[in-house]
Amino acid sequence: MIKIGVMASGGGSNFKAIIDHIGEGDLEAQCKFLITNNGTCGAVEHAMSYGIPVYHISGKTHPDVHQYERALCAVLDERPVDLLILAGYMKALPDVLVERMENRILNIHPSLLPKFGGKGFWGIHVHEAVLAAGEKESGPTVHLVSKEIDSGRILTQRKVPVLPGDTPEVLQARVLEQEHDLYWRTIRDYAAEVL
């Protein structure tokens, strides 16, 4: 049984998809916690409906950076996990966490990295940039988290077409649908490889 912890900032549809696949028996895992930097996001509502403990840790709750880092580490001390899963977490992780969980943190990004990754490329902005560049295909990437944003080892990718008339929102929905199927499979396969 894989023990995971999830970090999310937004709607939480990737988080929900992972929890649902655990519930359906596709992924033999237990989710020990949700950490969020946004106490009112959709991911928090999902966690509460599944009875998953929520920790709200942000620059607002912990203005001092060391206090902030200690709060994140305290969650891992209290509820140890095998893998930390970033599911729409829109804040860079502190180095101390990346070092502590080296090769154990996964992130999903909504483009075919290394294209459209790094600072400023998050959420809908990624899809806007893909359309502006006239790309013919896009799709999600699951990768390991390193200290450089969106630069860790790529684990999986899945391509979708960019179609004439696509808006950023339409393309986002097409990519997101694939994210929901790709992420739990990647967690399963990566855990089988390293745990």
Which C-beta is closer to ligand GAR: that of 70 or that of 177? 177
Q: Which residue is nearest to ligand GAR (CB)?
A: 88
In angstroms, the CA 185 to CA 177 distance is 14
CA-wise closest residue to 157 among 103, 124, 118, 113: 113
Residue 66 beta carbon to ligand GAR: minimum distance, rounded to whole angstroms: 25
CB 88 → ligand GAR: shortest distance, Å? 3
Between CA 10 and CA 43 the distance in angstroms is 6
Residues annotated as catalytic (active site), given as ranges = 109
Least distance from C-beta 102 to ligand GAR, angstroms? 20
Q: Which is nearer to ligand GAR, 75 or 176 (CB)?
A: 176
> What residues contact residue 102 under an 8 Å CB cut-off, 6+ apart?
none
Structure-token match 């943190």, residue found? 105
Choose between 118 and 161: whose C-beta lies nearer to ligand GAR.
118
Residues binding ligand GAR (CB under 6 A): 8, 10-14, 87-88, 108-110, 122-123, 126, 140, 176, 179
* Other beta carbons within 10 Å of 186: 21
